[in-house]
Amino acid sequence: MTARWRAAGIAGTRATIASSICTVLITSGCAVGPNFKQPAPPAVQAYLPDPLPAHTESASVTGGDAQRFVAGMKLPAQWWTLFQSPALDALIQQAFKNNPSVQSAQAALRQANENYYAQRGALLPSVQADYSFSRNRNATGTLAPTLNSGESIFNLHTAQVSVSYVLDVFGGTRREVESLHSLAESQQYQLEATYLTLASNVVTTAIEEAAARAQLAATDGIVQSEREALQILRRQNEIGSIAMTDVMAQEAALATAEATVPPLKKQLEQSRHALATLTGHFPSEPVDEHFDLESLHLPEDLPVTVPAQLVRQRPDVLAAEAQLHSATAQVGVAVANMLPQITLTGNEGGASTQFGQLFAAGNTFWAGGASLTQTLFSGGALLHKERAARAGLDQAGAQYRSAVLTAFQNVADTLTALQLDAQTLSASVRAEHAAKESLLVVRRNVELGSVGYLALLNAQQTYQQAVLNLAQAEANRYTDTAALFQALGGGWWNREGPPP
C-alpha cells in the first residue's frame, strides 16, 4: 500500500515539507521582542554599614559559644545537620517525604515542564491521518452520477494524511516556548524554596519546643521555691513575727507563678502539634522526637556569602529572575501576534468504493498550498495585549528588585541578630546569676527577720523574670543561626545527587 501511495504523487507533499524546512532554516534566527538579559548583581560590598566582628560574644551557658563569621565558607545543602541532632535530621526527612506543600510544589513543577514540552511541539509540523466510510445513494434521475459506473448505491472509503505547519517567521512560537521554559525554571526554584522553608520551619519549631521545655522547667523550679517561701512565712506568722497580710501576699505571688505554667504548656503543646503537621501527620499522631536545648549543638562557624553571589543562590530571587525572563518573552509573543502568520499545508490520500483499492492508480489525490493571514482590525485587542505584556514585564522587573532587596534585608537582619542576641545572652546570664544570689540572700534575711516580706517578693519576681529571659535568650541563638542559613539560600547548590 505504501508503494502505491508513493507512486501516486507524493512528490507534491515532499515539496511542501521541504519548502517548510528551508523557510524555517532561513528565519530561525529572527525573533521579535526584547532579548532577556540577566540582571547584574547589586553593586554593594557588604550587608551592613559597619564591618562584621570576627566573632560574637560568648557566655558560659547552653548555646553560649562564640560564633565566628567566615567569609566564603561553603554552606552544606543539609545545613540542619550542623546542629548535630539525629532526631532533628529524622524529622526533616519525614517532612520532605510527607508534607503536602512539597508534594504541591513537585506537582507544579511537573505541570510546568509538561506545558513546556507541549509548546515545543508547535515548532514541528502537525501530521494527521484520517479515514472515513459512508454508505451512499444518489438521485440518478436528478443529479449526475457520482460514480463512473453510474451506480446509485455504493460504499465510499476515503483515507488521507494531512500536514500543516505554521511558519515561525517572527519567532512568536519560539518566544512562547522560551516563556514556558522560564516558568518551569521558576517552579524548580520555588520547589527549592519550599524545601528550604520547610526545613527552616521544622528547625525553628523544634527550637521553640526546646525553649518551652526550658522555660517550663525553670518555672516549675520557681513555683517550688515560692511554695517553700510560703511555708516559711506561715511558720513565722504562727510565732507572730510577721503579719497575716505577708502570708496572703506570698500566696498571691505563688498563684501568679503557677498561672505562668499553663501558657508555657500551651506553647509546648502547640509546638508539638506544629511538628506533627509539618511532617504530614495529624496533631493526634504526635512525632516521637523530643527536643531540649541541651540536645542541640550551636554551630560555631557561620558562612557569610559574598553579596554579589547572594542573588545567584537564593531560590526566591532566582524564581523571580525566571519570572522576569518569562515576562520578557511574552512581549515577543504579543508583538509576533500583530504580524502576518504564514501556514503551509499539504495532504495526500485516496478514495475508492472498495477498501482494497484505496491507493490504486487513479484513486489517489494530493494537494499542497500556503496561506498568509494578517489581522487588519481587531478593535485594538492586539495592541492592548502588547501593552499589557510590557506592563507585565515592568511588574516582573519590580518584583525581582523587591526580592533582591528582601534577600539582603534578611541577611542583614540575621547578622545583626546574631551579634546582639549573643550580647543579650551574656547579659541574661549575668542577670540570672545576680538575681539568684540576691534571692538567696533576701530569703536568708527574711528567715532571720532582718528584712521585710516586700524585699523577698521583689527578689522572687526579679529572679523569675531573669530565668525566663535566659531560656529565651538561649533559644534565640539557635533560631538566629537557622535564620542565617535560610537567608543565605540554604546551600542547595552544593547538593550532591538529586533533590530530597
- Interval 140-162: pLDDT, tens: 777 777 777 778 888 999 999 99
pLDDT for 203: 97
Instruction: Judge whether residue 13 has pLDDT over 50.
Output: no
For the ranges 26-35, 152-161, 205-214, the lowest mean pLDDT is seen at 26-35
d(CA 283, CA 288): 12
pLDDT for 29: 54
pLDDT per residue as tens digits for the range 275-325: 999 999 999 998 899 999 999 999 999 999 999 999 999 999 999 999 999
Instruction: Judge whether residue 66 has pLDDT over 90.
Output: yes
Banded pLDDT at 451 (limits 50, 70, 90): confident
The residue whose grid cell reads 570576627 is 54
Instruction: Judge whether residue 9 has pLDDT over 50.
Output: no
Strands 301-304 and 68-71: parallel
d(CA 95, CA 453): 52
Q: Give DSSP secondary structure letters for 40-88.
A: PPPS-S-SSSSPPPSB----SSTT----EEEETPPPPTTGGGGG--HHH
pLDDT per residue as tens digits for the range 326-342: 999 999 999 999 999 99
Percent share of the chain, pLDDT over 90? 71
Contacts of 224 (CB under 8 A, 6+ apart): none
Question: Domains of the chain (ranges plus CATH)?
Answer: 41-124+169-339+381-494 (1.20.1600.10)
Highest mean pLDDT among 78-87, 358-367, 460-469: 78-87
Percent share of the chain, pLDDT over 70? 94
d(CA 20, CA 244): 104
pLDDT per residue as tens digits for the range 172-185: 999 999 999 999 99
Q: Full-prediction pTM beyond 0.95?
A: no
pLDDT per residue as tens digits for the range 91-116: 999 999 999 999 999 999 999 999 99
Instruction: Judge whether residue 16 has pLDDT over 70.
Output: no
Phi and psi, residue 271, nearest 5°: -65, -40
pLDDT for 24: 43
pLDDT for 149: 75
Q: Helices 172-238 and 100-120 sit at what angle, rounded to 10 degrees?
A: 170
